[in-house]
Amino acid sequence: MRLARRIWAFLTSPDIYWRLFSLLLAVILWLLAAGDGSLGEAERTVTLAVEVQNLPADLVLVEEPEPVQVRVRGLSPLLNRGESSISASINLRGAQAGTETYNVEVSGPLGIQILSVTPGWVSVYTEELVEAVFPVTLALLGVERAEFAAGLTPRPEVVTLKGARSVVDEVDHVVAYVNVGGGLGAGNSFPVRALDAQGRGILAVEIDPPQITVELKASESEETREE
C-alpha cells in the first residue's frame, strides 16, 4: 500500500506530471502527423511481389510468381509507417521440377491486420539446374592482318554455363567480342556472351568466368628472327 502511494505521489508531482503530459501530447501529435491528421482505423489494398524462399539448390526458377493483392487494416499512422514492411512469400522447400502451386504467406508489423490475400495460392515453374562447358569463340574487331588474328587465343579457352535445362539447351556457341584496333594491353578483359543458333543473345544463363583475356602467340617468322 505504501509503495502504491509513493508511486502515485511521484506521478502526480508537478514536475513529473507535466513531463508525462508533454510526452503524451508529443505522441498524439506524431500519430496525427503520421496518419495525415487522422487517428482512426483505415483499410487499404497493397500490391506485393511474392518472394520465393528455400528454393532447392538443384532447381532454378523459370517463371516468377504473379503479384498478390493484400487487404490490410490498422490505424492510419501505423499503415502509413508500416505498409512498406508488409511482405508476401512462398516456401519452396522440397519442391520438384515442374509447375507447382503454393500457399502465399503474408506478414506485417504489429498493429496491422491482414484481412485477405488475392490470389491466396500462386503457381511457379521450376527446372533442373544444369551446367555445360563451351569453347570460347573470338569475334575480332579492328584486325586487318589474318596472321595476327590467327595468333590470338582466349584465356581461358572454355567457360562454364549454368542455368535452367531448357535455356542451356538453346545455347549454340559462346563468343567474346574483342576490339584489338588499339592494341592489346595486359589488363584488357572482354565480356563473354552466350548465343543461340541464330546469333541471338541468351541472357538467362550464368557464365563462369564472365570475362576472358586474350593471348597473342608469336608467329614462326617472328620466332625465327628472334633466334
Among residues 81, 96, 119, which one ends one of the domains? 119
Among residues 76, 98, 119, which one ends one of the domains? 119
Residues 175 and 197 in one domain: yes
The per-residue pLDDT for 214 is: 84
Distance, in Å, from the CA atom of 108 to the CA atom of 110, rounded to the nearest integer, reads 7
The per-residue pLDDT for 116 is: 95
Please provide the average confidence, as pLDDT, over all residues in the chain.
81
Please report whether residue 206 resides in a domain: yes
Residue 151 is part of a domain; what is its CATH number?
Answer: 2.170.120.40
Residue 93 is part of a domain; what is its CATH number?
Answer: 2.170.120.30
The per-residue pLDDT for 159 is: 97
Q: Concatenated DSSP letters for 63-93?
A: EPPPPEEEEEEEEHHHHHHHGGG-EEEEE-T
More confident residue, 37 or 69: 69
The per-residue pLDDT for 220 is: 46
- Domain range for 204 is 130-220
pLDDT, tens digit (0-9, with 9 covering 90-100), for 213-223: 888 765 544 44
Confidence grade of residue 141 (pLDDT, cut at 50, 70, 90): confident
Average of pLDDT values for 39-53? 87
The per-residue pLDDT for 153 is: 84
Pairing of the two strands 68-75 and 113-118: antiparallel
Please report whether residue 60 resides in a domain: yes
- Report the range of poorest mean pLDDT among 9-13, 70-74, 208-212: 9-13
The per-residue pLDDT for 101 is: 94
Please tell me the pTM assigned to this model.
0.65
Residues 136 and 198 in one domain: yes
More confident residue, 16 or 146: 16
Residues 158 and 211 in one domain: yes
Residues 136 and 114 in one domain: no
Residues 204 and 148 in one domain: yes
The per-residue pLDDT for 31 is: 57
Task: For residue 213, list its beta bridge partners.
Answer: 155
Confidence grade of residue 93 (pLDDT, cut at 50, 70, 90): very high
115-118: long-range contacts (C-beta < 8 A, 24 or more apart)?
Answer: 115/43, 115/71, 115/72, 115/73, 116/70, 116/71, 117/68, 117/69, 117/70, 117/71, 117/88, 118/68, 118/69, 118/70, 118/71
Share of the chain above pLDDT 90, in %: 50
- Please state the domain count of the chain: 2
The per-residue pLDDT for 19 is: 67
Residues 67 and 101 in one domain: yes
Please report whether residue 57 resides in a domain: yes
Q: Is the pLDDT of residue 37 over 60?
A: no
Please report whether residue 34 resides in a domain: no
Place of cell 502511494: 5
Please report whether residue 31 resides in a domain: no
Tell me the one-letter amino acid at 212. Answer: I
Starting at the edge strand found earlier in the chain, the sheet holding 87-91 runs 50-53, 87-91, 105-107
Report CA dihedral (125, 129, 135, 136) to the nearest 10 degrees.
Answer: 60
Please report whether residue 201 resides in a domain: yes
